[in-house]
Amino acid sequence: MKKLTTFSAVILCSLMEAQYCTPTFQYGADSNMITNVTFGNINNTSPFQSGITPDYEDFTSMSTDLLAGNSYQISVKGPSSSFPSDVVVFIDFNRNGNFDDAGESFYIGKLNSATPANAFTIDGTINVPANASSGTTRMRVLKNSNLAAYSDPNAPSSINTACDNLRTGQTEDYTVNITGNTVGFPSPYCGAENVTSLTVSEITRVDFNGLSNDSSIDGSSETIEDFTGTVFNANRGNTYPISVTGGTHGQTTVSAYAYIDFNHNNQFDADEKFNLGYLDNSDPVSGHQSGITSGMITIPANSLLGNTRLRIVKAYESNSWMGTLENLPCPSGWFIGQAEDYTINIQPESLSTSEVAKDSSVKVKVYPNPTTGAVTIKMKEGLEKYEIYNISGQKLSEGNSETVNMNNFVPGTYLIKILTKDKKLTTEKVIKK
């Protein structure tokens, strides 16, 4: 247990007293006080003299250590005059100065009617969340008589919040010190802890559904960068273009994959990955050997709604006597590349103008590719219509000529959506230099 000096205890108590609210009792604590709390290293017996016991007692100078992610037993003892008493324990796990957040209250149970000399004890369990903030924080033990429980043992608790206006009972505040929580980004997802040999080869840009994020290519970036504050929106059942730009060091087998935690189980499963292909060495980043690759991401109809993790991994792939280098959602071993984490907000089904499809039975030739100006579309089925989209899914032009003029387009990657005479649909990627 961490011991508090008298001076530090006074400071801690005064800060907590100024921060936290205090419940009120209509009839005080007479015959309904708390007489013992046992929790970890805390074993505190408090006075129970009628008429002089305050309805609030500050025991924040008493503390116990708790390990994040663990469970602990707590015992509370106290009399109840004519009516049973509810006991609720509150802990400010996120240290924000209140007990209002989800997971910060624990209903311990009801203490049956008894005199102070014959008071009962009830036991309960406190579960400390794995993500509880490390450090000292407030624990509140709150007891209140429950009139309805006199005739109905299953009556709901009479305590709704840590700051209620209550009937008769008592509040005792303590200190707990939460340790063991060194969780940081990218937890709860895997990081670079299994990488044994590392060369950071950076991602410089990610484009997805109308939103882009640029990052540095100066060689000083982290193995996994935190861009979870960037939120990409997508709808169930729709398909979206995505593009990844980054350094290649002249290699032709630098791949990009997208991994999305569709089922929110805090890991990237085998059916949650998208192979975006190899970067093309088109040198889109000035002064660096670099490339770009584009692909499509379809959001499954059974994806869980809301925010989840999107991870982009760019990695050099190789298989030689030195070992196998591959693109994995959790980089390990010898890793040459980088990962970037984003948030994707999955919304209900909706039609999207960026939705594109591809029929693999259609054989299309688009040339020259890359191009500095026009491209020609050839297929045996004949061309009915084409539409050109940028990588964010915005339609830029359309037509029905086999020659497509791209002279006015800025350098980058584009998608040509092609409808054949026999009504088949395919999409081809074109790079404009």
Rounded distance between C-alpha atoms, residue 78 and residue 110, angstroms: 10
Q: Which of 149, 151, 137, 145 is nearest to 164 (CA)?
A: 145
What's the token pair of residue 73? Answer: 């037993």
Average pLDDT over residues 224-249: 93
pLDDT tops 70 at residue 27? yes
> Could you write out the DSSP letters of every residue in 236-259?
TT-EEEEEEEEE-TT-S-EEEEEE
| CA atoms of 37 and 384, how far apart (whole Å) | 80
Residue-range domains of the chain with CATH: 24-179 (2.70.50.30), 197-347 (2.60.40.1930), 365-432 (2.60.40)
Most confident range (mean pLDDT) of 10-14, 132-136, 183-187, 229-233 is 229-233
Per the listing, tokens 């579309």 go with 377
pLDDT tens for 272-324 read 999 999 999 999 999 999 999 999 999 998 899 888 999 999 999 998 776 78
Q: Alpha-carbon distance 377 to 367, whole Å?
A: 7
Residue 394 has pLDDT above 80, yes or no: no
pLDDT for position 106: 96
d(CA 15, CA 30): 28
- Is residue 32 over pLDDT 60? yes
How many other CB atoms are there within 10 angstroms of residue 100's CB atom?
A: 14
